Chain A
Amino acid sequence: MTVSHPVRGTTDVGPAASGGGAVGSHPVRRRHRRRLTGSSFTGSSFTPWLFLAPAVLIFVVFKYLPMIEGIRLSLYQVRPFLGDLWVGFDNYARIMGDERFRDAIGHTLVLAFGQTIGSMVIGFALALLLEGHAKSLWFVRSAVFLPVVAATAVIGEIWRLLLFPAPEGFVNTVLSVVGLGPWTFLDSPDTSLASVMFVGVWKGAPYDMVLILAGLAGIDRQQYEASALDGATTWQRIRHVTLPALRPVITILLTLASIRGLRVFTEVYVLTGGGPAGSTDVWMTRVFTVAFERNEIGVASAGSVMLFLITFALTVVVQLYRRRKEAG
């Protein structure tokens, strides 16, 4: 997300402002033209920057400079007290050659895919169930939304307790009522990734629900009525009216979720620390281990830079796709 800022700052303002009305569109266009003719910062073109300055300064100090420093570190063997050694792209070769890192990439993809789809399906179901204006629904929606606002680390610790892998563990006790379990959950390499995914869906679905609810509210009621008059069943209405109308929301959700999925860290770190047997190691936990347990900051930076490039590429692709859609 941070990546797209430099682009957005100058280009996205155009469409956004023009969308707001004719008044907004003119100054923007004029500003572009003036810069093209080569005139310097004077008068009215300086004022917006003044207003932007505090935010820009914070972004530069806390985002862009650290990012650039990260890129620099990825090219060195980092030894703060002995002097850094230039190694070029060696760090990248080493992290790509690391079998555990490649495994971690695989887990990340599986986890991102599973959590994205799981959250969306359950979020969609929740949204359909909880759509409406009744007071009670408002209350239930707030309750369902709670996992999103709770701190991830807290959620991780609590689920760690709930998923205790012995028969006396909470979830296993509940399962035993219906004759299932005890399951190993986070304790076995066969079930650990699925358990992490479950917690991720539990936390992510309500967020998707809220966005989908917003999308549902924008659907013209008449379309439902018309299709009902034509004799469409509930399923047909969902399939041919609701889903097509939700396409923009789903695109945004997919983008956000895939980027969030790639960067997943806190819940995995708290739930399993990447274990057992590295079965839940993901991109960022591996980078963290390499940096602060193996003490190879340079190699870890290389891993982070790669993740940055991929999220950057993903964002650009989605942006281009959306722009072409809007244009066409």
Chain B
Amino acid sequence: MPRSRSATAAVALAAVGAVLVGCGSSATSTGGGSAAGVAQDPNAPFEVWTRSTEATAKVYEKIFKEFEAKTGVEVDYKPIFADFDKQIQQRAAAKDLPDLVVTDTGSLGVFTSQGLVGEIDKAGIAGGGDVVERAWNNGRASDGKYYAIPFSTQAMVTLIRRDWREKVGKPVPKTWDELTDLATAFTKDDPDGNGAADTYGMLVPGTTDRGYLGWWASSFVWQGGGDILKQDGDRFSVAVDSDETVKSVDYLKKMFCGDPKLVQPGALTTGTNDAHAFFETGKTGIYVTGPYMFGRFDKNLGKDKYEVVAAPKGPAGDTVLGEGENIYLMAGSPRADAQKKLAEYLISAEAQQAGMKGDPTPVVRLPVNSEVDVKAVYDDPRWETTAKVYADSARPFSSVPNFQPFRQQFSETLNSLFSTCSNDSKAELGKLAENLKKELQTQGMAK
């Protein structure tokens, strides 16, 4: 028996070795292929992904149908409801990406640094001249070249339960202090009048998944004069441990650790999809978010029950995060002509308006096409507020090659600070700063 066992083991080993060699050789022959020079095949399916909810998928479907009718190009549309980035990574690992995707501007860094998108010839895009320059910046990487075409823009606004606010007799908050004051009243003064202490002031999607907490907190950090990275010429330095950042983080920490706690229970593991429900079911009263959900909240909560306002001012102003969605033409596509055609259609005034009119949720929030008039299409003061905030106070994240690792680590540190309620924010943020410095060096952007 022992001898036979060693013999079979040898056979098994040899087989494994053979497969290993086989894998290795096939990998070297296909590896290193670039996006350019992919064989074109007009019969290949034209696969399009959008990061969507079921409601927005219907809007996209309509737009794509219109596109098919106009051009005869068939779209194989797949709305992705959850884990969009993870699914992209899985398809990238299989070297079989969808042909075109519409997703956050925040994915630009990951896509470019992994070679998932190629450079865009901005001048060669029909109708590209109608796209406002500021929107084009959403498709521009740190090397100054364009890798994506903007589709929609937006700014973070503050949603407040108007009926609650009137009940507790507070004004619309204009400053950080008033914001905390209102959130405290929402938490303590039973604004829904049911006699139970089951309401909360601030709604925070505080999970570290995708770096959501960092997304939410960034606006506050800027309002306090802090930052994650600071631009210095064409390089960057880390600002996450500056006094201003520490002060802003401490302001936020009080919402999580003060008495009473102003955030909804479970905030530090709440994702955005779960978060919306807290607002529309009357659990929390203040929601700093993008203008994605007006339609849904109107339906489930009531249009008259909440108001949309610009961010209350912090010590350094009312800056908020302004981002949006981009159209990405993915690498390795056998349908380059269809990619360009669809992108050109999506930025046309017609498609942009159709996207804004999506019911209940628009897929184009603020149009990128200068020919489209926000006021005329929406006829809604809340959207005018959003447009004004975007014009006056919105800024994007720093344009390093890939901001995602910075946001991820920033949110992990905040998540830890807010859950342990550590007294030494400065030390924790200092530790983070060291790690971010390393990441800056890895990306070749350190001062």
Residues of A within 8 A of B (CB): 6-7, 10-11, 14, 32, 35-36, 64-65, 68-69, 71-72, 78-84, 100, 164-169, 186-189, 272-279, 291-295, 297
In the assembled complex, the Cα of A245 lies from the Cα of B119 at a distance in Å of 70
A273 in contact with B207 given A164-B265, A165-B265, A187-B265 (CB within 8 Å): yes
In the assembled complex, the Cα of A78 lies from the Cα of B7 at a distance in Å of 36
Q: Which residues of B contact A10 (CB under 8 A)?
A: 4-5, 8
Could you mark each residue 318-335 of chain B with 1 if its beta carbon is under 8 Å from any beta carbon of chain A, else 0? 000000000000011000
**Are B405 and A166 interface neighbours, CB within 8 A?**
no
In the assembled complex, the Cα of A306 lies from the Cα of B329 at a distance in Å of 37
In the assembled complex, the Cα of A188 lies from the Cα of B420 at a distance in Å of 8
Q: Which residues of B contact A189 (CB under 8 A)?
A: 416, 419-420
The distance from the CB of B376 to the nearest CB of chain A, in whole angstroms, is 41
A11 in contact with B5 given A72-B27, A168-B198 (CB within 8 Å): yes
Q: Is B381 an interface residue (CB 8 A)?
A: no
Q: 8 Å CB contacts to A: which residues of B1-40?
A: 1, 3-5, 7-9, 12, 16, 19-20, 23-24, 27, 31-35
Nearest B residue to A60 via CB reads: B19
Set A80, A167, A278, A291: member contacting B416, Cβ < 8 A: A278
* Chain A interface, >50% SS class: loop
Of the candidate stretches B89-97, B175-183, B291-299, the one touching chain A is B89-97
Set A81, A275, A294: member contacting B268, Cβ < 8 A: A275
Closest A-B pairs by Cβ, 4 of them = A83-B32, A277-B416, A81-B115, A292-B86
**Are A167 and B197 interface neighbours, CB within 8 A?**
yes
**Are A276 and B268 interface neighbours, CB within 8 A?**
yes
**Are B35 and A68 interface neighbours, CB within 8 A?**
no
Between A and B, 26 residue pairs with Cβ closer than 8 Å are A7-B9, A11-B5, A11-B8, A32-B1, A35-B8, A36-B4, A65-B23, A68-B16, A68-B19, A80-B95, A81-B92, A82-B34, A83-B31, A83-B33, A84-B27, A84-B31, A165-B266, A166-B266, A186-B266, A187-B268, A276-B268, A276-B416, A292-B89, A293-B86, A293-B210, A297-B89
**Are B93 and A80 interface neighbours, CB within 8 A?**
yes
Q: Which residues of A contact B12 (CB under 8 A)?
A: 6
Most-contacted residue by chain B among A6, A11, A168, A276 (CB, 10 A): A276
In the assembled complex, the Cα of A152 lies from the Cα of B408 at a distance in Å of 27
**Are B408 and A294 interface neighbours, CB within 8 A?**
yes
**Are B90 and A292 interface neighbours, CB within 8 A?**
yes
Q: Is B44 an interface residue (CB 8 A)?
A: no
Q: Is B152 an interface residue (CB 8 A)?
A: no
**Are B4 and A32 interface neighbours, CB within 8 A?**
yes
In the assembled complex, the Cα of A149 lies from the Cα of B4 at a distance in Å of 40
Q: Is B110 an interface residue (CB 8 A)?
A: yes
Q: Is B69 an interface residue (CB 8 A)?
A: no
Q: How many residues of B contact A (CB 8 A)?
A: 55
**Are B268 and A295 interface neighbours, CB within 8 A?**
no
5 additional A-B pairs beyond A35-B8, A187-B269, A277-B268, beta carbons within 8 Å, are A6-B12, A71-B20, A79-B115, A81-B33, A84-B32
In the assembled complex, the Cα of A82 lies from the Cα of B92 at a distance in Å of 11
In the assembled complex, the Cα of A68 lies from the Cα of B266 at a distance in Å of 40
Q: Is B196 an interface residue (CB 8 A)?
A: yes
**Are A72 and B23 interface neighbours, CB within 8 A?**
yes
Q: Which residues of A contact B114 (CB under 8 A)?
A: 79-82, 295
In the assembled complex, the Cα of A65 lies from the Cα of B26 at a distance in Å of 13
Nearest B residue to A187 via CB reads: B266
**Are B265 and A276 interface neighbours, CB within 8 A?**
no
**Are A168 and B196 interface neighbours, CB within 8 A?**
yes
**Are A297 and B1 interface neighbours, CB within 8 A?**
no
Q: Which residues of B contact A36 (CB under 8 A)?
A: 3-4, 7
The distance from the CB of B9 to the nearest CB of chain A, in whole angstroms, is 8
Q: Is B116 an interface residue (CB 8 A)?
A: yes
In the assembled complex, the Cα of A65 lies from the Cα of B22 at a distance in Å of 11
The distance from the CB of A160 to the nearest CB of chain B, in whole angstroms, is 8
The distance from the CB of B267 to the nearest CB of chain A, in whole angstroms, is 8
Nearest A residue to B213 via CB reads: A275
**Are A72 and B20 interface neighbours, CB within 8 A?**
yes
Q: Is B99 an interface residue (CB 8 A)?
A: no
Set B267, B269, B331: member contacting A273, Cβ < 8 A: B269
**Are B408 and A293 interface neighbours, CB within 8 A?**
yes
Q: Which residues of B contact A279 (CB under 8 A)?
A: 419
**Are B115 and A82 interface neighbours, CB within 8 A?**
yes
The distance from the CB of A18 to the nearest CB of chain B, in whole angstroms, is 11
Nearest B residue to A169 via CB reads: B265
Q: Is B85 an interface residue (CB 8 A)?
A: yes
**Are B23 and A69 interface neighbours, CB within 8 A?**
yes
Nearest B residue to A69 via CB reads: B23
Q: Is B208 an interface residue (CB 8 A)?
A: yes
Q: Is B412 an interface residue (CB 8 A)?
A: yes
A273 in contact with B209 given A6-B12, A10-B5, A166-B265 (CB within 8 Å): yes
Q: Which residues of A contact B208 (CB under 8 A)?
A: 273-275, 278
In the assembled complex, the Cα of A43 lies from the Cα of B404 at a distance in Å of 61
Nearest A residue to B83 via CB reads: A292
**Are B419 and A188 interface neighbours, CB within 8 A?**
yes
The distance from the CB of B268 to the nearest CB of chain A, in whole angstroms, is 4
Q: Is B425 an interface residue (CB 8 A)?
A: no
Q: Which residues of A contact B184 (CB under 8 A)?
A: none
Could you mark each residue 395-427 of chain B with 1 if its beta carbon is under 8 Å from any beta carbon of chain A, else 0? 000000000110010001001100110000000
The distance from the CB of A14 to the nearest CB of chain B, in whole angstroms, is 7
In the assembled complex, the Cα of A164 lies from the Cα of B110 at a distance in Å of 35
The distance from the CB of B120 to the nearest CB of chain A, in whole angstroms, is 16
In the assembled complex, the Cα of A189 lies from the Cα of B268 at a distance in Å of 10
Q: Which residues of B contact A276 (CB under 8 A)?
A: 268-269, 415-416, 419
A81 in contact with B266 given A68-B19, A72-B20, A291-B89 (CB within 8 Å): no
Most-contacted residue by chain A among B35, B196, B207 (CB, 10 A): B207
Q: Which residues of B contact A82 (CB under 8 A)?
A: 32, 34, 114-115
Could you mark each residue 86-124 of chain B with 1 if its beta carbon is under 8 Å from any beta carbon of chain A, else 0? 100110111100000000000000100011100000000
In the assembled complex, the Cα of A69 lies from the Cα of B416 at a distance in Å of 35
The distance from the CB of A215 to the nearest CB of chain B, in whole angstroms, is 29
